[in-house]
Chains A and B, each alone.
Chain A
Amino acid sequence: MPLRTPAWPSSRLVTALCLLALLLAGCSPEHYPQTTLLPRGDFARIADDLLDTTVKWAVLVFVLVEGALVYSIFRFRGKPGDSEPHQTHGNTTVEIIWTVIPALILAAIAVPTVQAIFLTSATPKADALRIEVVGHQWWWEFRYPEYNLTTANEIHVPMGRTVSLHMGSADVIHSFWVPQFAAKRDVFANRETRLWFKAEVVGEYPGQCAEFCGIQHARMGYRIRAQKPEEFQAWVAHMQTLAPKPAPAAKPGPAPKPAAGVGSNQEVRTASAGATVQAVAGQGPDYATGEKLFQAKGCVACHALYAVNAPKGMIGPNLANVGARSYIAAGTLKNTDENMARWIQNPQAIKTGVLMPNLGVTEPEARALVAFLRAHQ
């Protein structure tokens, strides 16, 4: 041989240590707010338990098989001058054994799998809280028919009560993913899909669309807030005050052309659907300017400003409580006044391709709009 072969042991060891380091780095799921490995709901726990079962078997198989591979690398290493090894062509007994053992291991995985499939496919009880989820390019609409409420990009759920999600899409396929409490389910324009879960821990977590849905798929996030039952009820009660007031019919501003018709069975409402705005107390002069601008700039064509009886199928997210949300633009920006002003002035720079056009809002106008929207808590 022209060159001594690099020794297997040392290099293998280095690799193994690297992998181990990575493994440890990855094994601290609490650093990952969107992790699937710390289930905080019953559905997610079923998925996680199943993963644990398969991982245990997988690690066992991995250690045994890779161990045997490494062993044979050392044990059967050829030396110069070795005579021809014994020419075996096979061994039926051994071959049967290594067909049957994997089959048994798979059976050990298959049984809990099938159980879990039926468990997760079961219909939740009638007393579950029904929430309707509609995926839009690129934001999430949430409706609570029980309370006649609509909101967007921030879903509130009560701890301890099963939530039954009835889901659809206004346009292309998306996938609603609740990694901490449930898992994911695709949403379609022509059929309803379902998912359920019961939150067992309170907290606020991020989630996001998991099916590629166009240019801003990466910016289709939402927040989920699991609240104690009484806190959830308080939130519902507050949201129910965000009702339309019989306002003097404002002239709809120059409405931006909505994106090409929504290819779904949903009714599309655009201009003037949100022409009435809710009553919000305690506003300064900026608020009044903002209120006018919201009409004049045509924002009202796509956004509703009240949560009760809100129209279905709006192009843009419902803004009834936008002032109180943690993020804006579907998980893209922290909800600060500065970010909101940036967003209103130039959404296309922040989220290229988003259906909200640049409306030529000046900085003072943006400040007024922020003041107006911030008051929508």
Chain B
Amino acid sequence: MATRVQPQAPPPVSHGEKTGLWSWITTVDHKRIGILYGTTAFIFFLLGGIEALLIRIQLGSPENTFLSPERYNELFTMHGTTMIFLAIMPLSAMFFNFMIPLQIGARDVAFPRLNAFSYWVFLAGGLFLNSSWLFGLAPDTGWFGYANLTSTQYSPGLNVDFWMIGLQVLGIASLAAAVNFFVTIVNLRAPGMKLMRMPMFVWMSFITQVLLLLAFPVITVALFLLMFDRFFGTHFFVPSGGGDPILWQHLFWIFGHPEVYILILPAFGIISEVLPVFSRKPLFGYAAMVFSGVFIAFLGFGVWAHHMFATGMGPIADAFFALSTMLIAIPTGVKIFNWMGTMWGGSLQFRTPMYFAIGFIAMFIMGGLSGVMHASPPADLQQTDTYFVVAHFHYVLFGGSIFGITAGAYYWWPKMFGRMLNESLGKLHFWLMLIGFNLTFFPMHFVGLNGMPRRTYTYPKGLGFETLNQIETAGSFLLAVAFLVFLVNVFQAWRKPRNAPADPWNGATLEWSIPSPPQEFNFAEIPVVHGRDALWDMKRERRGPLPEPARVSGRGIHMPNPSYWPVVAAIGVLSVLLSLMFLSHFGPLGVVVAAGVLFLGVFKWAFEPAG
């Protein structure tokens, strides 16, 4: 229990543990890269949140002129793009990085330098995308970028180019990371950790990597086609040249729907770690949880056109996609019931992570139910592109992913930073977030069904939208306060010395068997696993808690060398795409120089001794 705070002397700097900016730039340590991902993603999350607040101020009253139409369109585009690609995905990547090697008993990921490369490419993409604000050219065609509005005829500015190239760069980061974690999970499991003994977070992360590997190539192709349309005059999505804008929608959603599961499955995994620990009871129906996750991912590739019911695909296609969409509710239901089965009969410990985990279940149920409502095409024809859908996916992505990620943050904070977060501030955060969240998004169901379309910078008086929009705006500020409380909590913890024991929550998994924060090499000795909930097994065998693990010198444990070539390669990736964007300025020479940087990075990296 966390109340058993054991003030420790700051641990001695162990062998190989370096400090300073350069050590962070050249780091290949999965834990440091995880922290880099987390910090960067949280800053982008705050940025996306500020964008949301500006949107909410604008919509707080009818005919508001707080934002110009251009600015509003940029804000809602960047809010969506930021939250999906720069906040939720990399926040999940933070946990993949930090927790997967620890949970499977490994010293690092399979390819530490590729891991660093992924992070730097992600950072480059995120900064590039947001640099568009500085030029007043932020993307303004929605995160979905529907053709043919994105064609040069209707969007002549650089706005769409920033979006297209930014996403392309981020896709490279995601794919590189996905290969890495796929191999890590398949290959680096500790002896005895069979697939069906892996912690559920590892399982859900594993499925997420498969989804990334199979979904991202499709958006890559779609973005390339758009790039050819915009830069080289092809007509893939241009009706006047024979092209079809609907092709974009198919390609986008074949990626886009699996993307939804890429955003939510890691949160499923986190919840499946938190609930058993704070119920003091193993996960209910482990196998069903695994297979329902696999089934959701599989079905996720067969439902994309439910985003396109309004395009008029015909009754056969509508019926097919309606039924496949409804099918997804079954494995999702299994998951919810199994989580409740985990709590049932347990001894529930109401610590902050548990609050957020239960909040997740409560909110996610609502997102799931509204999802079934618009799985039905005739009903969806009224709901699509209204605030009802905005409500739905915020219940899934905020009520789901963000609640789950926050649960994970409170749960793993002690492990990551060696400091306990304050429980009362944590619970205050929870209540503010739960109330703020529902105030913001619950009324959107009604305002949507009552006729308010999405993506409109204003609405006229007299349509009845005023009151509910005011409530939503108030709620969004409450949400902002909730995250301020979190920041205060983090700041307070940061100023105190490290006080977290190795196992503050009576954890079930291997990460709690090593010191908080872990040493560079994670495990002084690679553990041997004999079943699920490996750490509970060890404790049961000892008939009591394990002794606080000592920090050891780590001499003789061989770890990879730091390297700056992944950074160079990441800069190369961005340069190549930039040279294409500004082909008319720099000409082919620019492409050659940029490709040279990329090749230099990759070659030096390939021939550098890994350590």
Answer whether residue B73 sits at the interface, using C-beta atoms and an 8 A cutoff.
yes
Answer whether residue A46 sits at the interface, using C-beta atoms and an 8 A cutoff.
yes
Complex CA–CA separation, A188 to B248 (angstroms):
13
Answer whether residue B362 sits at the interface, using C-beta atoms and an 8 A cutoff.
yes
Nearest residue (CB) in B for A33 is B463
Nearest residue (CB) in B for A31 is B464
Nearest residue (CB) in A for B333 is A102
Complex CA–CA separation, A137 to B148 (angstroms):
13
Complex CA–CA separation, A338 to B407 (angstroms):
57
Given contacts A15-B435, A15-B438, A46-B378, contact A185 B459 (CB under 8 A): no
Check A90–B284 contact: CB distance below 8 A. yes
Q: Which residues, 108 to 143 on B, are CB-close (under 8 Å) to A?
A: 140-142
Which residues on B sit within 8 Å (CB–CB) of A57? 372
The CB with the most chain A CB atoms within 10 A, among B3, B337, B386, is that of B337
Which residues on A sit within 8 Å (CB–CB) of B427? 3, 5-6
Report the count of interface residues on B (CB-CB < 8 A): 112
Hey, which bits of chain B sit against chain A, CB under 8 A?
A: 3, 68-70, 73, 140-142, 146-149, 151, 153-154, 238-240, 243-246, 279-288, 310-312, 314-315, 318-319, 322-323, 326-327, 329-330, 333-334, 336-338, 340-341, 343-350, 358, 361-362, 365-366, 369-370, 372-373, 375-379, 381-386, 423-424, 427, 431, 434-435, 438-439, 442-443, 445-447, 449-460, 462-465, 467-468, 471
Check A58–B373 contact: CB distance below 8 A. yes
User: Out of A11, A48, A173, A263, which one reaches B431, CB within 8 Å?
Assistant: A11
Check A211–B322 contact: CB distance below 8 A. no
Check A94–B341 contact: CB distance below 8 A. yes
Top 7 nearest A-B pairs (CB, nearest first) are A34-B451, A26-B446, A183-B381, A218-B456, A78-B347, A32-B450, A190-B239
User: Out of A29, A55, A210, A261, which one reaches B453, CB within 8 Å?
Assistant: A210
Check A69–B379 contact: CB distance below 8 A. no
Complex CA–CA separation, A211 to B145 (angstroms):
12
Which residues on B sit within 8 Å (CB–CB) of A61? 365, 369
New A-B pairs, 9, CB < 8 Å, besides A103-B330, A106-B326, A184-B381: A26-B443, A26-B445, A72-B344, A85-B280, A91-B341, A184-B382, A210-B386, A210-B453, A215-B73
User: Out of A27, A172, A210, which one reaches B385, CB within 8 Å?
Assistant: A210
Cβ proximity bits A40-63 to B, threshold 8 Å, 1 near / 0 not: 000010111011001101100110
Check A6–B431 contact: CB distance below 8 A. yes
Check A26–B319 contact: CB distance below 8 A. no
Given contacts A113-B322, A209-B453, A352-B68, contact A73 B358 (CB under 8 A): yes
Cβ proximity bits A190-215 to B, threshold 8 Å, 1 near / 0 not: 11011000000000001011111111
Nearest residue (CB) in A for B241 is A263
Total A-B contacts with CB atoms under 8 angstroms apart: 337
Which residues on A sit within 8 Å (CB–CB) of B459? 218
Check B451–A212 contact: CB distance below 8 A. no
Complex CA–CA separation, A188 to B348 (angstroms):
55
Check A3–B311 contact: CB distance below 8 A. no
Nearest residue (CB) in B for A122 is B315
Answer whether residue A281 sits at the interface, using C-beta atoms and an 8 A cutoff.
no
Check B381–A120 contact: CB distance below 8 A. yes
Answer whether residue A68 sits at the interface, using C-beta atoms and an 8 A cutoff.
yes
User: Out of A66, A86, A103, which one reaches B365, CB within 8 Å?
Assistant: A66
Check B381–A47 contact: CB distance below 8 A. yes
Check B369–A76 contact: CB distance below 8 A. no
Answer whether residue A88 sits at the interface, using C-beta atoms and an 8 A cutoff.
yes
Check A32–B453 contact: CB distance below 8 A. no
Minimal beta-carbon separation of B200 from chain A (angstroms):
13
Nearest residue (CB) in B for A82 is B347
Complex CA–CA separation, A188 to B154 (angstroms):
14
Given contacts A109-B376, A184-B384, contact A215 B70 (CB under 8 A): yes
Minimal beta-carbon separation of B336 from chain A (angstroms):
7
Check A76–B149 contact: CB distance below 8 A. no
Which residues on A sit within 8 Å (CB–CB) of B149? 172-173, 212-214
Nearest residue (CB) in B for A327 is B460
User: Out of B347, B358, B372, B439, which one reaches A18, CB within 8 Å?
Assistant: B439
Given contacts A69-B361, A90-B287, contact A212 B446 (CB under 8 A): no
User: Out of A32, A76, A218, A352, which one reaches B451, CB within 8 Å?
Assistant: A32
Which residues on B sit within 8 Å (CB–CB) of A183? 378, 381-382
Complex CA–CA separation, A189 to B235 (angstroms):
14
